[in-house]
Amino acid sequence: MHGRLRRSAYSSLRDSTSVLKSRCVFELAIEIGGIEIIAPVLSDPQAVCAAAVMGVGVAVLAMSDVFEALRQGTLVRLLPQWYVDAGTISLYYPSRAQLPAKTRAFVDFVVESFEREGLARRLSAD
């Protein structure tokens, strides 16, 4: 199966909650069984999620990008045993002996929130 990338006629994807989700500059045209299928090419995970919710197509996204839609039932997992490892979630900050109090408080807040809410487990795709 071969496809071609071309300039898109789409200027935006719209839904009832947002005037403009994303500009779609390209689309992928694939021919399957003599039928041309055209899909927008999006790089913004929120726009991809919104497009999937609107019925534009199927999406491969990290759990953190679709967690709420799955919880609300607006999206369903098609292949629950299959997932893409998007890597770890990391916080980066300067390695100084005297870390600013605001930075330390933020790091502590994020770590405690992940532990308290079980976010590592909830955001895991497996």
At 43-96, the pLDDT tens digits run 788 888 888 898 878 888 888 888 899 999 999 998 888 776 667 778 888 777
What is the dihedral sign for C-alpha 69, 78, 62, 113?
Answer: positive
Strand partners, 111: none
The values of phi and psi at residue 123, to 5°, are -90, 0
Tell me the per-residue pLDDT of 51-61, one tens digit each, with 9 for 90 and over.
889 887 888 88
CB atoms within 10 A of CB 126: 8
β-strand pairing of 35-41 with 3-7: unpaired
Q: Whole-model pTM above 0.75? A: no
Query: Residue ranges of the domains in the chain?
Result: 1-85, 88-126
- How many alpha carbons lie under 13 Å from residue 8 in its C-beta half-sphere? 16
